[in-house]
Each structure stands twice: as C-alpha cells, then as structure tokens.
Amino acid sequence: MTLFNNFRKFSNFVKPLKRTECLLVLSKRTYANGTYDYDLAVIGGGSGGLACAKEAVNQGARVAVLDYVTPSPQGTKWGLGGTCVNVGCIPKKLMHQAALLGEAIHEAVAYGWEVPSADQIKINWSALTESVQNHIKSVNWVTRVDLREKKIEYINGLGSFKDPHTLIATMKNGSKKELTAKNVVIAVGGRPHYPDIPGAKEYCISSDDIFSLSHPPGKTLVVGAGYIGLECAGFLNSLGYSATVLVRSVPLRGFDQQMATMITNEMEEKGVKFFNRCIPVSVEKLESGQLKARWLNTETKEQGEDVFDTVLLATGRYALTEQLNLAAAGVSVLSDSGKVVASTEQTNVPHIFAVGDVLEGRPELTPVAIHAGRLLARRMFAGGSQQMDYENVATTVFTPLEYGCVGLSEETATERYGADNLEVYHAFYKPTEFFIPQRNIRNCYLKAVALREAPQRVLGLHFVGPVAGEVIQGFAAAVKCGLTMEQLSNTVGIHPTVAEEFTRLNITKRSGKDPNPASCCS
C-alpha cells in the first residue's frame, strides 16, 4: 500500500509537468510563418541580461534567458546571477568589509574598548568563505524564483547561434535545445585572462576562485595591478595574508594616476609589496605544495623569484564571444579583443543587441549593464527612445583606503581641454575618526577637475579615503546635472563628515599653496 501511495504521489507530481510541457509546445509560435518562440532571448544571466529580460517582461514580451557557467581551470563554478553576484562586486565587498572589521577591532582599543589579546586576533578563512558563499547562494535562489514569478523561461544551457533567429542551448548533459527569438541580446560578459606562461592554468587561481577557496590563501602573489588585483591584494593583506603585487605598466591604468599613487602608497605602508614593471615568466609547483613564481623586470631585464602559497592572476578579462558562433548570425562587429562594437547596443544585425562587459569601450560596471539593459528593453518593447549615457559614470575601487571617482581624470581632461583651460582644486584632509587611533592620514586626498572659465563646470571629482563609494555617489548626481565649482563652494557641508571636504575645496594646484588643512573646524 505504501508503495502504491508513493507511486500515486509521484504520478500526481509528474502530470502537471507533462501538461505544462504540452502547453509549452502548443503555445510556441512557428518560425516558418515568420513568428518565434520568444520575443526576446537573452544569452547570459548576469546583471545586464537579467535587467533587460525583466524589463522586457514588464512591457509584455515573452522572454527566455540562457545561462551556463563553464568551470574555471581550477574547477570553480557558480549559479545564476553573473560575475557581480558570484565572483565580483558582492563577495569582494564582503571580504573588504571583513578586512575593515579586523582593523576596527584594533582601533577599538584606542577608543577605550577592552579587547582581550588584541594581538592574537585572526581571521577564520573557512568561516568567512562559508558566510560569503551562503549569502551568494541565497541571492542565486532569489534570482531563480524571481524569473519564475515573472514567467521568464530560464534555460541552464550554453547559448550559441544557429542562424540569426535560432539559438542552440547546450545543456550540462550534452543534449541540445533549439529555440527561436525575434530579438536577441548578447550579455555573456567576460572571464579572467590567463597569461601564456608555464603553470598559469595548472596552478594559479583568479577572482573566479578566491572567494570560495577551500583553504587559507597564505602568502599570495597577485599578478596585475588593475582594480581587481589591488582590491584582492588589499583585503588579503588586511586579513593577515602577506600580499605581493606584480605591476606590468602602471597601477589602475585608465584611472587618475595621482590618485592611483595615493592608493598604492597607502597599501605599501600597510605592508603590501609591489614589483613595478614586472611580468610573470613561470609558476612551478614544489614538492612542498608551494608555488615558485618567476618574473621579469621589463626595464632592467632582471629576473626575480619567490615562493608563495597562492598565485592569483588578475591580468584582465576577455569577452565570451568566441563560443557564440556569431558568424552564423551575421554579427561581424567585433574588436581585436573579441568585444562587440555597438554604440547604441545594436550590432550590425538589427535585431541582435549587446549589453554589459561584452561591449567594446564601455565601463565594465554592474550598474552600467543594468541601466543599459533596462533602457534597451524599453526601446525594443515600449517605444522608448532614451539611449544609455556612458559619460560621468561613478565608480569606486575598494582598496583598504577606498578611491571613488566620477567624470574625467586629470590626464584625460588635460588631453581634451588643455592644461591652460583647466583649474584643479585639491586638498588633503583629516577624517575625525582617524585621530584617536592615530591612523595614517597622508593619503587622504581629494580633488575637483574643472574648466577654468567661470562658472567652472566640474569635469571630474576624485576622492581617496574611507567610505569613498558612499561619498562619490551623491556627487555623481550633481556632476550629471552640470555641477560647477561655484555651486559646490556654495553648498553647506555636513560636519563632521569626510564628504563635506568637497564643499571646502578652495586651493588650486596652479596657486602653489599648501593643500594641507590647518584645522578641522574653520
């Protein structure tokens, strides 16, 4: 009887699924008649693709999302949500926060807190990664539920083109599923680049792996000094793991270099080692299990080597366009780096679009992909006309002392307008909370790059200091609205905050005056 009841329960469970399958087949529109299974198919389940899919459904479109994560060379894989949720912004910020909390425990002693054996405080790496991964899995689950509730078809398969309107989803078990769509959005993002050196893929990890690493990273070599490399080196060092960074050209290439120097100066003072103008040559695994890394100084031609527990590669990312079979769709607008060239997200094939990190020359930032995806969906299905504005996009580098910026760097502004047509206001400042624990304030610095001619429109704002992201976000809206130095100087600050320092800017580089503050309250 029990066996019969179990079979009946199973049958009742299967029947609705079968009915659903039948309804799905019957409701499919015929490609031969010029209609399609879906109004929109999105290849890629990251921030940009999901935002576009959800907005399209809000406008009445029938949507499918194809998403599949190929494991990293070290075997790391993750769920729905893309880079940001799984191996990017979210776990990075959580580990950054863990590092800040560790520093705060030591500072608490100066504020009167009695902390037993402060010198014995250490991080439990397994507990940290478990907490981070539990949060990520909860976001994965909520994302899947959200798609189901919005009736977005989620296909856990690797998408590619068969022809301009037909996609093939290769499932985990190797089976294939075909679907047709009137419109297609490419939102596949990118993955970490591995240098072509011995031992790179065999022994090294990347940002795909660090946030779920099963063992403490120990002494770590970070190859690359972009924002990913510096952020990882920063939180690893603050968590108590020795970090060394190989810098190929300049740190934070593409960012304001004066501010980048402030960042690396602060990191060096905290114990991070930097080898400038160096490229990796090889990584060898020793009998002890440790890794011997060798590198070359491209200027002096001297070679260096050391032994590490972990080698983390942060040498850039590449777009996942090669696997899409774009030629079958007729998409031919690819850059040398394999990214899609599309000024308004539309490729050379009118019904095929791209959003997010896969686009050439666009900021590789989650909020950019989300906003562009939503606007694209409105243009496709709601008669919208608003295009994505990629200018004056704010961002923050979450190094131990954060760097937030919006608008042009001083170098770019000089190239566009000429040094004689610019006025750069700058200042060092003293965060109030730094005084009692006697924290280093040498690298707390900000500047505003403006046109010299009145009313001095602000071209860029740059801030190095605590909670830089929170500071720069509000000012980003002002810059978007055409902020001038006259308006900024007439804004009354909130005291005592670090954000108010922008309202106190009055010394220009041109004047040659000392930008160090005399006091905090005058």
Known binding residue 189? Answer is: no
Known binding residue 49? Answer is: no
Known binding residue 230? Answer is: yes
Known binding residue 284? Answer is: no
Known binding residue 226? Answer is: yes
| Contacts of residue 74, Cβ cutoff 8 Å, sequence gap at least 6 | 205, 208, 209
Q: What are phi and psi of 295, to 5 degrees?
A: -140, 165
Hey, how many other C-beta atoms are within 10 angstroms of the C-beta on 156?
Answer: 16
Known binding residue 304? Answer is: no
| SS3 at position 431 | coil
Known binding residue 309? Answer is: no
Six-digit token pair at 210?
Answer: 């660090």
Alpha-carbon distance of 429 to 442, in angstroms, equals: 9
Q: Is the link from the previous residue into 455 a cis peptide, with omega within 30 of 0? A: yes
Cβ–Cβ under 8 Å, residues 399 and 230: yes
Catalytic residue annotation: 495
Q: Is the dihedral of CA 139, 142, 146, 148 positive or negative?
A: positive
| SS3 at position 511 | coil
Known binding residue 227? Answer is: yes
Rg (CA), the chain: 26
Known binding residue 224? Answer is: yes
Known binding residue 93? Answer is: yes
Known binding residue 271? Answer is: no
- Beta strands 395-397 and 402-407 are antiparallel
Alpha-carbon distance of 444 to 403, in angstroms, equals: 10
| Contacts of residue 94, Cβ cutoff 8 Å, sequence gap at least 6 | 131, 132, 135
Which among 487, 427, 414 is positioned nearest to 457, based on CA atoms?
487
Which among 267, 250, 244, 206 is positioned nearest to 403, based on CA atoms?
267
Burial 249-287 (b: 16+ CB within 10 A, else e): eebbeebbebbbbbbbbbbeebebbbbbebbbbebeeee
Alpha-helical runs (H) found in 111-199:
125-149
Known binding residue 254? Answer is: no
Residues belonging to the binding site for FAD are 93, 159, 357
Residues belonging to the binding site for NAD(+) are 224-231, 316
